[in-house]
Amino acid sequence: MSENTSGSGYVEAEFTRDSKYISDRITADGSSPWPVEPGRYRLVVARACPWANRAVIARRLLGLEDVISMGLCGPTHDERSWTFDLDPAGRDPVLGYERLQEAFLARDPGYSRGITVPTMVDVPSGAVVTNDFPQMTLDLSTQWTAHHREGAPDLYPEHLREEMDEVMERIYQEVNNGVYRCGFSGSQRAYDKAYDRLFTALDRLSDRLEHRRFLMGGQVTEADIRLFTTLARFDTVYHGHFKCNRQKLSEMPVLWAYARDLFQLPGFGDTIDFPQIKEHYYVVHADINPTQIIPQGPDTSGWLMQHNRDQLSDRPWGDGTPPPPPPAGERVPADHGPGGIGHR
């Protein structure tokens, strides 16, 4: 089981993702049983997971750290669940759980689907509200506006939503899920098809970004968050572990400069934990890596190289401002960032 791959299967040797999530929403208008309420919900994530990384970035950019608490699972898990093995005594200090599975069973004692991150948990009941990761970040932008920090960027501008939705769907199908389609292919034919599909999409994105700083123009949006979390893992795990090896990201000039630009913005690169990312993929995917040996490379110091993308636009936050540094308890260890060498 990896991030949201639990329940995934092979159809004619092609990887398919189980996308049936608990789809409840937390809303501001009373249209759901879960109202927007500061302090009521806990966002459970794992730094290794690209889907969870989206929620971490959005929460940070919008300034919701004091409104929605965050629980961190460790980078590895077994067939049952993600675990809170990074916390003292191996229990989440707010929920009291050892395993995220406990929150799903509190919601449904017969729950038998994937235990995935990110998950939003109702603290009073200890039950899962939703693990619908695509909707979750959009709701952080649209339902929690009363609690956004002063200067929070508009990550989902209303006038761009129709085009953004199309762009984000293509990114999900062709890139976010595309790397998994390569890595979990069950035949040479399925892999070859997935490989061609992935790099065709990356080439098109490179063309789109050649003369615009971000996917939707001159400022950061949710679309950039969704692409970034895959690009941030590309050379570290997808290039080798998932056989996405036509080129490294660092050999694709436009996408590499774009990814470095985002990485160097507050709220993006400071959420990336390279050792946890490697430990997750190389240990959990024992069917792909039976020895579970974690590679020492690649060198990640290049993420801090100059990118010159600011020549295309000097207002990455639009009318907003950059987020402040993360709370002390949520900071990635310094040796787990660019150029770090630490394993857990």
Interval 224-263: pLDDT, tens:
999 999 999 999 999 999 999 999 999 999 999 999 999 9
> What tokens were used for 97?
């759980």
Give the 3-state secondary structure of residue 335. Answer: helix
Q: Is 156 a catalytic residue?
A: no
CA distance 167 to 287: 32
Given the residues 180, 195, 281, 282, the one annotated as active site:
180
Set out the domains of the chain in order of their start, with CATH numbers.
9-147 (3.40.30.10), 158-336 (1.20.1050.10)
CA distance 64 to 215: 24
pLDDT band for position 340 (50/70/90)? confident
CA distance 10 to 263: 34
Interval 197-223: pLDDT, tens:
999 999 999 999 999 999 999 999 999
Name the burial class of residue 334, with classes exposed (0-12), middle (13-18) and buried (19+) by CB atoms within 10 angstroms of its CB.
Answer: exposed
The two beta strands, 127-130 and 41-46, are unpaired
Q: Is 258 a catalytic residue?
A: no
Share of the chain above pLDDT 70, in %: 95
Given the residues 21, 41, 49, 172, the one annotated as active site:
49
Interval 164-192: pLDDT, tens:
999 999 999 999 999 999 999 999 999 99
Q: Among 298, 304, 182, 297, which Cα is nearest to 246's?
A: 182
Q: Structure pTM?
A: 0.95
Q: CB 39: neighbour CB atoms within 10 A?
A: 10
DSSP 6-50: TT-EEETTEEE------B--EESSS-SSEE--TTSEEEEEETT-H
pLDDT over 80 (residue 9): no
Residue 14, pLDDT score: 81
Rg for the chain (alpha carbons), in Å?
A: 19
Residue 342, pLDDT score: 55
